[in-house]
Amino acid sequence: MPFYLTAALDNGVTPREISEIITQLAFYSGWANAVSAAAIAKDVFVQQKISPDQISDASAPPLPLDEAGEADRAARVGGQFGSVAPGLVQYTTDVLFRDLWLRPGLAPRDRSLVTVSAVIATGQVAQMPYHLNRAMDNGLTKAQAGEVITHLAFYVGWPNAFSALPVANDVFEKRPKIAECSELFHQLPVTPCSVVPRPTVQRPPRAGDGSDSRGGTPTKAGTIPQAPA
């Protein structure tokens, strides 16, 4: 890990971003892993003569919260799991999405990229649809998502990477078609692309597809539900 931390610093990742990556991973790959990583990062920071003020900025305000989107997520998760683990549901809202995800030390796209990498690395592909969609909403491109999975194959194993591929493909297929919207925009130049109605396309049902919702991915038993975290 010291080699890769040094390489990250050499490639332009800031000490503050490294600190935030470790913090994010504490929630998505385990506290013990993050604490172990923090000890190694501390040694690297000392060797690189990185001062504490380069790591944390307590005065920075949190990022703005998408109130409507968060309310929808919280309602869906509460409806699914509130009667099973209400404490976990509450922590997911209060600690993850109203605190961790709003920390300003890491750009939303990069925080999403770290999270997608973590769920692939730990084999938690059921969590991928929500987080990959969120990552792409935050600016991650389809090509970049593909490169993330390719890169991870060498570090977390081919099975984890290949298990992620059909989930990623399903997310890509269900997202809005930018090219199609752009074509309609040129036909109607006075209408913003975001409000141009997409033409209805009749598709034959797919065997084993339990849902056409954006948040699920087909399985033999139906659909993997959207990720609660």
Domain assignment present for 49: yes
Number of domains comprising the chain: 2
- Which residues contact residue 92 at a Cβ distance below 8 angstroms, ignoring those fewer than 6 apart? 77, 228, 229
Q: What would the pLDDT profile of 101-153 be if each residue is shown by its tens digit?
A: 999 999 999 999 999 999 999 999 999 999 999 999 999 999 999 999 999 99
- Which pLDDT belongs to residue 217? 44
Tokens read off for 28: 């998505």
Q: Is residue 24 part of a domain?
A: yes
- Pick the last residue of a domain from 40, 57, 74: 57
Residue 181 lies in a domain: yes
Helices (H), the chain: 2-10, 15-28, 31-47, 67-81, 86-91, 108-121, 128-137, 142-156, 158-174, 178-187
How far is residue 202's CA from residue 40's CA, in Å, rounded to a whole number?
54
User: Tens of pLDDT along 81-95?
Assistant: 999 999 999 999 999
Provide the pLDDT for residue 203: 45
Q: Cα angle at 42 between 41 and 46, to 5 degrees?
A: 115
Asked if residue 99 belongs to a domain, the reply is no
- Residue 213 sits at the vertex; the CA angle it makes with 211 and 215, to the nearest 5 degrees, is 110
Q: Name the residue range of residue 149's domain.
A: 107-196+214-229
Domain presence at residue 94: no
Residue 139 and residue 28 share a domain? no
How many Å apart are CA 79 and CA 86, to the nearest integer? 10
Looking at residue 95, the DSSP 8-state letter turns out to be I
Residue 70 lies in a domain: no
Residues of the chain with pLDDT below 50 are 179-180, 182-186, 189-201, 203-225
Pair 36, 121 in one domain: no
Write down the pLDDT at residue 177: 67
Q: Is residue 72 part of a domain?
A: no
Shared-domain flag, residues 118 and 181: yes
Query: Domain for residue 17, yes or no?
Result: yes
Same domain, 120 and 20: no
Write the CATH number for 117.
Answer: 1.20.1290.10
Is-contact 140 109, C-beta < 8 A? yes
**Amino acid, res. 161:** A
Q: Same domain, yes or no, for 53 and 149?
A: no
CA angle 138, 143, 146 (to 5 degrees): 100
Are 20 and 103 in contact by the 8 Å Cβ rule? The answer is: yes
